[in-house]
Amino acid sequence: MVVQKFGGTSVADPAAVRRLIEIVRTARARDGRGPAVVVSAMSGVTDLLLGIASAAGSSSGMSGALERIEQLRERHLAMARDLVPEPERDALLDEINTTLNQLAAVVQALAVLREVSPRTLDVIAAMGELLSSRVVAAALTAAGIPAEWVDARRAIVTTADHMRATPLAAETAQALRAIVVPALDAKRVPVLGGFVGATVHGNTTTLGRGGSDYSGALVGAGIGAREIQIWTDVDGMLTADPRVIRQPRLVPKLSFAEAAELAYFGAKVLHPSTILPAVERNIPVRILNSMRPEGPGTLITAEPSLDGTPLTGLASKGNVVVVDITSTRMLMAYGFLRRVFEVFERFSTAVDVVTTSEVSVSVTVDDAKAIPAITEALSEFAEVSTESDMALLCAVGDRLRDEPEIAARVVSVLEEVPLRMISQAASRRNITVVLRQADLAHAMQRLHEEFFQ
């Protein structure tokens, strides 16, 4: 059976929830039971809740905060009225009102205390998912799919690091087996809010912004799902940034390792760290568009993707600075690289690409804040020059590992573009070039034409 996680836009309004219902119905018909459903808050709700919390901490923000609570109440009540008929509707309306009354009470207390602790912020931020999951569970049941609301605070057990809590693997797996599996066995569809958990003492926590994907992966791993589906508002992962390439292609399939490389270089793709429990258990993850459920989506699996196009995708990072560092000492002095990287470490500056020759090393940095201080520190033992307005262009594909001609093709396609650095890292599934920012769009177009069109 599958786990279906629906993002904020996929539960944003009654029409979206109706699409969700049909998606769930289809999965259920195919598998004979399930699926387990994880939902985000309705789009915009988490931001609104956090805004309410911060406004509540100041006396002047109080009335605005209460007004926004009423907007939230109206939005959820309207959903309930649209999706759930009488008499079941009444219980849902009560739940919504109770949650929002609690929110109003917390906000009033904050106005007195004038201080919002991370623990309180979590109580507030969690309400978006607690509400949306109630609405979806009731809407499914009303549509003839028996569903059971699962309180995520009982199912996802976490550390007490509020606002970015880490799930406790064994405790969470046990809780999921105790709560979610029986619902599935009873042929009900368990519905739980993503993003939310609680400590062993029952204090509400959240997993960090965007954490619902993580919840989906946890549930998938906990119940041993055969697939985790991430339903969103795009068709899947694209071969290149659509702001640069007019018609990027959909990537049908890629490996977790490729996804990690692309995400690191800024591609809009699910970052494997957000689906770690699925990666660890080798459970395939599929990204799908809830507006066009018939589309194939993008499948992310553990196996290297060797059967598709020679490259899997392109990603880029603009506005990077290249720092060239040349040893002023004799040739082959050992310890040079150590000293160089110590300086970057001292100024907490991450380095993306590194190329070296006998006496010099070039690195790229995308956070230029500390560059003046770094330059000064490096100048004590090296000659340093920097060049800004540079960009990284990264071509990713598992086939790069065993087919050296692909890397050669990448470089030769870019022959008329001045390349400042070229690097193929140890993973050998990416080749990265550093070029002028001004050349980035053209270079990306050339590569895209060559490999994807």
Query: Binds 10, which of Mg ion, ligand ASP, none (CB < 5 to 8 A, cut-off by type)?
Result: none
Tokens of 417: 């573009």
**Closest approach of ligand ASP to the CB of residue 39, in Å:** 9
Torsion 393-253-285-293 (CA) sign: positive
Q: How far is it, in rounded angstroms, from Cα 162 to Cα 204?
A: 8
Nearer Cβ to ligand ASP (194/297): 194
Select 194 or 236, whichever has its Cβ closest to ligand ASP. 194
128 forms part of the interface with Mg ion (CB under 5 A):
no
User: Residues for the chain: how many in total?
Assistant: 453
CB of 125 or CB of 396, closer to ligand ASP: 125
Residue 411 phi/psi, 5-degree rounding, is: -65, -40
Residue 272 interacts with which of ligand ASP, Mg ion, none, CB < 5 to 8 Å by class: none
Residue 274 or 301 having the CB closest to Mg ion: 274
C-alpha–C-alpha distance, residues 324 and 363, integer Å: 7
Work out whether 7 is an interface residue with Mg ion (CB under 5 A).
Answer: yes
The CA distance from 31 to 368, in Å, is: 52
**Binding partner of residue 61 among ligand ASP, Mg ion, none, CB cut-off 5 to 8 Å per kind:** none
Contacts to ligand ASP by CB under 6 A? 7-8, 40-41, 46, 128, 194-195, 209-212
User: To the nearest whole angstrom, how small is the minimum distance from the Cβ of residue 41 to Mg ion?
Assistant: 10
Query: CB of residue 12 vs ligand ASP: minimum separation in angstroms?
Result: 11
Q: Which stretch binds Mg ion (CB under 5 A): 9-17, 174-182, 202-210, 415-423?
A: 202-210
Closest CA to 233 of 192, 287, 282, 302: 287
Q: Give strand pairing partners of 4.
A: 37, 229
Q: Where do the DSSP E strands lie in 122-179?
A: 147-150
Nearest residue (CB) to Mg ion, 231 versus 344: 231
Residues facing 193 on adjacent strands: 39
Dihedral angle, C-alpha 424, 401, 264, 206, nearest 10 ° = -150
Contacting range for Mg ion; rule: CB under 5 A; set: 88-96, 205-213, 371-379, 383-391: 205-213
Name the residue among 278, 245, 311, 178 with its Cα closest to residue 446. 245
* CB-based contacts of 63, cutoff 8 Å, min separation 6: none
Q: Does 208 contact Mg ion by CB under 5 A? A: no
Q: Among Mg ion, ligand ASP, none, what binds residue 211 when CB lies within 5 to 8 Å by partner kind?
A: ligand ASP
Region at 137 (left for phi over 0; alpha for psi -120 to 50; beta for the rest): alpha
Q: How far apart are the first and last CA of the chain?
A: 36
Nearer to ligand ASP by Cβ, of 205 and 312: the residue is 205
**Backbone φ and ψ of 28, nearest 5°:** -65, -40
Q: Which two tokens stand for residue 131?
A: 């509400």
Q: Which does 248 bind (CB under 5 to 8 A by kind): Mg ion, ligand ASP, none?
A: none
- Kindly state the smallest distance separating residue 195's Cβ from ligand ASP, in Å: 4
Distances (CA, A) of 40 to 24, 166, 184, 220, 386: 16, 18, 20, 16, 44
Total residues at the site for Mg ion (CB under 5 A)?
2
Q: Which is nearer to Mg ion, 194 or 313 (CB)?
A: 194
Closest CA to 159 of 118, 210, 131, 191: 118
Residue number with CB closer to Mg ion (7 or 236): 7
Binding test (CB under 5 A) with Mg ion, winner from 14, 44, 51, 210: 210
C-alpha angle with apex 20: 18 to 23, nearest 5 degrees? 115
Under 8 Å between Cβ of 103 and 127: yes
236 binds, among Mg ion, ligand ASP, none (CB under 5 to 8 A by kind): none
Binding partner selected for residue 41 from ligand ASP, Mg ion, none, CB under the kind-specific 5 to 8 Å limit:
ligand ASP
Min CB(34)–Mg ion separation in Å: 22
Q: Which residue is it, tokens 């809009």? A: 268
Closest contact distance (angstroms) between CB of 19 and ligand ASP is: 17
Shortest separation between residue 211's beta carbon and ligand ASP, angstroms:
5
Q: Please state the closest distance from residue 235 (CB atom) to Mg ion, in A.
A: 16
Q: Residue 128: which of Mg ion, ligand ASP, none does it interact with, CB under 5 to 8 A by kind? A: ligand ASP
Stretch that binds Mg ion, among 209-217, 342-350, 383-391, 425-433 (CB under 5 A): 209-217
Binding site for Mg ion (CB under 5 A): 7, 210
